[in-house]
Structure 1
Amino acid sequence: MIKENLRQLLQELTQIHGGSGQEQPVIRHILTLLKPYVDEISVDLKGNIVAVKQGKEKGPNLLLAAHTDEIGLIVKNILPNGFILFEKIGGVPDNLLPGRKVLIGKNQIPGVIGNKPGHLQSPEEATRVKSASECYVDVAMFSRVEVEESGICIGDSIIWTSDFMEMHNSDYIATKAVDDRICCSILVELFRNLNKEDFVGTLYGVFTVQEEVGLYGAETAVFRVPADYAIALDTIPCGDTPEVDTEVELPIRLNQGPGLPIADGVGNRFFSFIHPAVRRVIEEKAGNLSISLQKVAIVSGGYTTDGAALSHANGGLPAGTLAVPRRYSHSPVELVSLNDATAVYQIIEAIVKDNESIDLSFL
């Protein structure tokens, strides 16, 4: 039933809007899901959820992290004629903006990102990608006053909409915010299924905020959690589509097992290299379960996770990332395999249940 439970959780969580810095709706929902299954739970001042589950006796403290935020937009200004200008929050591709349906603010006011009619576009306009600063949202209101009276104000979150689409093979799901609501789902399901008698030590589940804009939730949360080692659960882009030279650019494929980034980074600040102890335990459990791992070094490709923040915490924490592959990163149609997600769940559950055996040495 793990796969079906993950499907249900993913559907619930992806249809909630929670852009970076405004994750409150997602945080509230996850709190409701978790409370019956944890020993302690709190939300820190930054917004991170810290859920705690004690094992049958003292042992290593394991931190598992998944981020709650999604990429999005933010209201920059409301023009006198009622059109809305915006800024990007996180890595939103410019070429995915025109023609998108969006919901704005706490009242989820519907809007569309407008585009000049093709009949009036010059040849140059028809081929050029407009930048976010050239785009606008049309909410079919005709004055700033009317827009403000609807409840929209400067700083409101703008999130594009996307239904929860099961593909012909229903093991595959396409929707928004798979990054990283799939791993939030995995972590919720883990807490649901673990009993005190199942493991030794303490499990800390941290649902972080503001990962998409700089790993800032994890950067602060880890200093409040007395972890001995940590694993970030996230997604990783696939390179198995027609426009990508898979072997040369990104040898990650959908439905071929979890991704295991050995080294990743965005510039010097977010560089991380998986700790050998974390690599050992992930590889061991995957091997025991006959699960294939897709190992990758993705240092020059602009990819990082909360693992980079975890690895530098508390004087240097053994840390790494285990990732669910997904196609069409940072789009409204991120495509994921529930089989890959289930495999991540199985590995993490096995690590927790054998927590007392962890060897955290570097050598």
Structure 2
Amino acid sequence: MMEKVVGSIRNSKERIKETLRDLTSIVGVSGTEQEVVKYLKEKLTPYADKVEVDHNGNVIAIKYGAGQGPKLMISAHSDEVGFCVKNILPNGFIIFDKVGGVSDQLLLGRKVWITTNKIPGIIGIKAGHMQTPEESRKVKTTRECYIDVGLSSRQEVENLGIRVGDPIVFQSDFMEMADKNLISTKSIDNRIHCAILIELFKEIEGLEFEGTLYGVITVQEEVGLRGAVTAGNAINPDYAIVLDTIPAGDTPDIDTERSLPVYLGRGPACPLADSVSGTMIFNHIHPKVREMIEEQAEKANVSLQTLTLLGDFYTTDAASLALTNKGVPVGIVSTPRRYSHSPVELVNLNDAEGVLKIVKGIVLDNGTKDLSFI
């Protein structure tokens, strides 16, 4: 019996890895998530009772339980940070705008994919031989950069199928580290949880639970938590769990214990409160949903890293989802990842597997906990 359990665990982790490989290969910048949405709908349909895609692109997979019970929404977001074509110059170089939070330090000399067809390009960099000392130290912004696709006119570029507004992402491979549980690539934020949501629907097939599960994959999270608002208003869940990545603080350039006590490989994280500095965006998870998360982590023998991230620049769909309708009790379960919003995001699949165990337990125990605030 133990051998079967271990084999199942290995299989679920391997399936998450392979789904993540597929998902991170897709170009899906905020506002242009169509290819990701197509993939997710196809993969969820065999395991859900119904799968819908709303006008904005939110994927809503519905699984009905065996009896009456709460409406539980578990969500992740499909979009990734990146860029879009701002203009094509007469000489064939492309000017671009930033979509979401990408650091300017990542720009120069990077390979990129343009459009969902992955047309190759390069963010140009002035030859080091020709740079002044001041130029060699300067971090250029997107407005000072250009993309070279190796053509010499606007017409040639347009003939490739590139148009103003088309998405651009950093080119990135799917790299397994020496420890095969560690994966580095682009858009782990938040394709890892799209993969987990697909695996969740597979694993609950044939199992009984009460109420209704809404597996939701939202759009445009990276540019204002927009998809969660429309999805939350349409579903009106009794409570919700938001799945998202969270920065890991365990690198030499961060004072881990003081600033960001999150470690890769030590289990999922649960940010209890978060906010975006300089704005009114604030979220504090619901006390009863926190209890659920902590109880399921203990039940599944999964280490849970709890923390607050106030006064920094971190938030999730939970901040907007909690305010939909008459208010939704919301909790967050996060997978730690290093090097956020870069082409080399790094994740530990053991942490992702822990997220799956927690949310699976919450689904199977749906309706057993009173959601009253006091």
Using structure 2 for the length normalisation, give the TM-score. Answer: 0.95
Between the aligned partners of 2:359 and 2:54, the Cα distance in structure 1 is 25
In 2, Cα distance between equivalents of 1:132 and 1:30? 31
Could you tell me which residue of structure 1 aligns to residue 281 of structure 2? 270
**Paired residue for 1:226?**
236
Match of 2:266 in 1: 256
Q: Which residue of 1 aligns with 2:252?
A: 242
After the TM superposition, which residues 298-337 of structure 1 pair with which residues of structure 2 at under 5 Å, given as runs? 298-337=309-348
- Is the Cα contact below 8 Å between 1:14 and 1:178 reproduced in 2? yes
Residues 38-67 of structure 1: CA distance to partner in whole angstroms, max 9, x if unpaired? Answer: 101110001100110001111111000100
State the Cα distance separating 1:168 from its structure 2 match.
0.4
Instruction: Check conservation: 2:58, 2:217, Cα contact below 8 A.
Output: yes
2:295 to 284, 291, 300: 284
The answer on whether the counterparts of 2:27 and 2:115 sit within 8 Å (CA) in structure 1 is no
SS of alignment partner, residue 337 of structure 2 = strand
Asked whether 1:194 is paired with 2:188, we answer no
Question: Partner amino acid for 1:329?
Answer: S
Other structure's SS at 2:325 match: helix
Contact conserved, 1:58 with 1:200, CA < 8 A, in 2? yes
Structure 1 distance, partners of 2:117, 2:237, is 39
Using the alignment, how far apart are the partners of 1:341 and 1:108 within structure 2?
A: 28
CA contact (8 A) 1:311 1:320 kept: no
Aligned pairs for 1:60-71 within 5 A: 60-71=70-81
Q: Residue type of the partner of 2:339?
A: Y
Query: Aligned ranges for residues 11-160 of structure 1 at < 5 Å?
Result: 11-160=21-170
Match 1:294 to one of 290, 305, 319: 305
Following superposition, the deviation at residue 103 of structure 1 comes to 1.1
Structure 1 residue 361 corresponds to structure 2 residue 351: no
Equivalent in the alignment of 2:354: 343
Q: Which runs of 5+ in 2 are unaligned?
A: 1-10
One-letter amino acid of the counterpart of residue 308, structure 2: A
3-state SS in 1 of match to 2:15: helix
Which range moved further: 326-335 or 219-228? Answer: 219-228
Contact 1:107–1:151 (CA<8 Å) still a contact in 2?
no
Across the aligned residues of Structure 1 and Structure 2, the Cα RMSD in angstroms comes to 1.0
SS, match of residue 201 in structure 2: helix
Amino acid at match of 2:326: G
Amino acid at match of 2:345: E
1:5 and 2:15 correspond = yes
Q: Secondary structure at the match of 1:6?
A: helix
C-alpha offsets along residues 63-100 of structure 1, whole Å, 9 cap, x if unaligned? 00100000000000111111000010000110001111
CA distance, structure 2, for counterparts of residue 125 and residue 249 of structure 1: 32
Distance in structure 2 (CA, Å) of the matches to 1:270 and 1:333 = 28
CA distance in 2, matches of 1:216, 1:296: 25
CA contact (8 A) 2:35 2:116 kept: no
State the SS of the aligned residue for 1:116.
coil
Report the more deviating stretch, 194-203 or 129-138.
Answer: 194-203
Match of residue 225 from structure 2 = 215
Task: Report the residue type matching 1:38 in the other structure.
Answer: A
Give me the TM-score of the superposition, normalised by structure 1: 0.98
Shift of 1:268: 4.0
- 1:105 CA drift (Å): 1.6
Query: Where do 4+ consecutive residues of structure 1 move more than 4 Å?
Result: none
Give 5+ residue unaligned stretches, structure 1: none
- The separation in 2 between residues aligned to 1:180 and 1:278, in whole angstroms, is 22
The 2-side partners of 1:323 and 1:106 are apart by 28
DSSP 3-state at the match of 2:233: coil
Superposition deviation, residue 196 in structure 1: 5.0
Tell me: CA distance 1:107–1:16, structure 2 relative to 1, closer, same or farther (3 Å): closer
Aligned residues: 363
Paired residue secondary structure (1:322)? strand
- In structure 1, distance between residues paired with 2:51 and 2:280: 31
1:261-285 CA distances to partner (integer Å, 9 max, x unpaired)?
0100114442100100110100111
- Separation in 2, partners of 1:210, 1:175: 20
